[in-house]
Amino acid sequence: MLSSLLIAGLVYQYDCRTGRLRNSSFVKYVFPRSVYLHPSAVTDYKFVAVDLSIKLLVYVPLFSGISWLLYKSLYSALRPIGVDLSSSVLFSSAFMPGLVGFILADFGFFLSHYLMHKIPVLWVFHEVHHSAEVLTPITVHRVHPVEELLNGLIGSSISAVGAATYSALSAKDLVFFEIFGVNAISFIFFAFAFQLRHSHIWLSYGSVLNRILISPAQHQIHHSQDPQHWDKNFGFTLAVWDACFRSLYVPRAQEAIRFGLPYGDPSDFSSVSKLYVLPFKKSLKVLRRTREQQSTVKNATSA
């Protein structure tokens, strides 16, 4: 949070010097009442208390256990193969385990996020996050438990498979937290302006670096109602995944962005209970509609 405030201060100074910002104090610039007291933000504050409780009491121990069991099981199965590349530069470096863990975790997040947008029955749960009409650092926790469950299952599975394979090839039974915990690389990227991803403060890394790393501005574009921004910039840290899936959007200059869903009634997401219950109702409708469509196709082909 402190690093993000420092970077926000630098952005504030830059905007003041370039004339983009006038007659505004730093506090009002970083914490505008119109954003932090917006009804959508207030809903976030209420939602986060329940969300963090679920994460700490259920998901953290659950996914840690799944990762550990998968890792140990796969490592035990792969080790007898007898391939030993531990002497190669790729596997002998002390830096590599952290880098491998970072890449696997980042791809796991991208894949989960991508599926949430592309599969209709999953999108109705991800809608909860995109229904935010303003973005604050608290909005990152505006995530339905079903989405968090999918994120955890995909992330822990990909990390476990990759880590077990790496351990088997390097002949090293790596320490658990060095693989699945917050390694140095993840910490650096997390500390650098992470809180600004969900904020009103525009911070772009430039046309070149934005093709390597996902900047806060690019994630804000991901939350945009503008059709040209839909299904863009799914990545968490690395932009390479979006480049591979042709979903990378690199802004040429600062863009005016309106957050929230481009359809529906905002009041549908105006309370904690609605954020939890509505996606289940919508998912049943999606499944029912899918079943009806399949039935129609089946009847048409058999006629």
The domain locations on the chain are 34-191+259-289
Q: What percent of the chain has pLDDT over 70?
A: 86
Q: Please give the biggest Cα pair distance in the chain.
A: 72
Res. 135 pLDDT band, cuts 50 70 90? very high
Distance CA 106, CA 35 (A): 29
Average pLDDT over residues 257-276: 93
Res. 264 pLDDT band, cuts 50 70 90? confident
Instruction: Tell which wins on pLDDT, 37 or 181.
Output: 37
3-state secondary structure of 266: helix
DSSP classification of residue 225? -
Res. 177 pLDDT band, cuts 50 70 90? very low
Q: Which residues contact 172 (CB under 8 A, 6 or more apart)?
A: 86, 91, 97
Torsion of CA 270, 271, 272, 276, to 10 degrees: -70
| pLDDT at residue 178, as a whole number | 42
pTM: 0.86
Residue 23, pLDDT > 90, answer no
| E strands, 47-86, in order | none
Nearest Cα residue to 196 out of 112, 127, 139, 257 = 139
pLDDT tens for each residue of 51-82 = 888 878 888 788 778 777 888 888 788 776 65
